[in-house]
Amino acid sequence: MTKITHITSDCLHLIMEAARSTHPREFAGLLSAEKGVISEVVILPGTISGSSHAIFQLHMAPVDFSLVGTVHSHPSFSSLASDADIELFRKYGRVHIIIAQPYTEDSWRSYTGKGDEYHLDIINK
């Protein structure tokens, strides 16, 4: 299992734009990585977005071994993981991202499947 160490700037910018366009509801998706680099976001059909929640329809996820975790936005100014976020992290994937207002390169955090903060480097690719 390859360690996830980077996210592409294009992928991060897609996450920022998706969060902005969904605001004030939460945006949610799955993260896809190859060779340790997160480069895609997969949007699941039927995902429900609200002002304080996003509900994944994980049974709609494709059989894809490149899926490594989740991403979602917080319409607030906090990218700290809630207890509900950590419960999701424990159930699905190894790396998770939360982006908060103002949805910039300075307003996101990544986490492990156990809910610990995790560093990802941004690369141009």
Active-site residue, 117 included: no
Separation CA 17–CA 22 (nearest Å): 9
Residues 6+ apart with CB under 8 A from 27: 15, 18, 19, 21, 49, 54, 71, 72, 73, 99
DSSP at 118: E
Which of 17, 26, 34, 105 is catalytic? The answer is 26
Active-site positions read 26
